[in-house]
C-alpha cells in the first residue's frame, strides 16, 4: 500500500471518527444543559445551537466515509438480477451520476460561501458568527465524495483491464 493510499484511507476513516465523536460530545453537552437548567444552576442556550450545527458537520463528513465503506442506502434488486457484465456497466453509470451530483454540490457549495461572504450575512442568535461558516462542511464533504467516486471508477476500470 503506497503512502498516498494510507493517507487517503486515514483521511476517510478520520472523517467517520470525527462524526462519531462529535455525536458523543454533543450528547454529553445537551445532557449537561438539561441537568444544569433543572437544578437551577445556569442556562446554557448556546448548547442547543451547537447541537443543531453539529448535525450538518457530522452528516457531510460521514458521507464520504459511508460511500467508501459502501454503506449508503441503494436499491440493489435490479442490478443483482442482471448478468455480471451489464451490472458492472450500470455500476459505472451510477458512479458517474454520483460524481456529477457531488461536483455540483462542491461548485454551488463554494458559490453560496462566496455569496454569503460578499453580502456579509451574520447568524445572530446566542452565538454570533458569519453565516458562511455553516456552509463550509458541504463543499468539503462533497469534495471528498468527488475523490471517492473517481477512485471507485478508476478501480473498476483497472479491475476490468487486469
* Residues in contact with other proteins by the rule CB under 8 A: 16-17, 19-21, 23-24, 26-28, 30-31, 33-34, 38, 48, 51-56, 58-60, 62-63, 65-67, 69, 71-79, 90-91, 93-94, 97-98, 100-102, 104-105, 108-109, 111-112, 115, 134-135, 137-138
CB of 108 to other proteins, least distance (A): 4
Name the residue nearer to other proteins (CB basis): 5 or 52: 52
Per-residue CA distances from 100 to 14, 83, 105, 147 (Å): 25, 26, 9, 12
Name the grid cell of 78. Answer: 435490479
Name the residue nearer to other proteins (CB basis): 8 or 37: 37
CB of 95 to other proteins, least distance (A): 9
CB of 2 to other proteins, least distance (A): 26
Closest residue by Cα to residue 112 from 141, 140, 132, 142: 132
Per-residue CA distances from 58 to 66, 140, 156 (Å): 12, 12, 29
Amino acid at each position: 500500500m503506497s503512502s498516498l493510499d494510507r493517507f487517503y484511507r486515514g483521511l476517510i476513516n478520520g472523517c467517520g471518527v470525527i462524526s462519531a465523536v462529535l455525536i458523543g460530545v454533543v450528547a454529553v453537552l445537551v445532557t449537561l444543559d438539561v441537568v444544569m437548567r433543572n437544578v437551577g444552576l445556569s442556562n446554557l442556550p448556546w448548547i442547543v445551537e451547537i447541537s443543531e450545527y453539529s448535525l450538518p458537520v457530522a452528516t457531510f463528513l460521514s458521507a464520504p466515509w459511508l460511500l467508501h465503506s459502501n454503506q449508503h442506502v441503494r436499491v440493489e434488486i435490479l442490478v443483482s438480477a442482471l448478468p455480471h457484465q451489464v451490472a458492472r456497466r450500470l455500476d459505472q453509470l451510477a458512479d458517474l451520476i454520483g460524481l456529477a451530483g457531488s461536483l455540483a454540490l462542491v461548485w454551488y457549495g463554494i458559490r453560496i460561501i462566496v455569496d454569503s461572504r460578499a453580502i456579509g450575512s451574520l447568524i445572530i442568535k446566542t452565538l454570533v458568527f458569519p453565516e458562511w461558516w455553516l456552509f463550509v462542511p458541504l463543499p468539503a464533504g462533497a469534495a471528498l465524495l468527488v475523490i471517492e467516486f473517481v477512485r471507485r471508477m478508476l478501480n473498476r476500470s483497472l479491475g476490468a483491464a487486469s
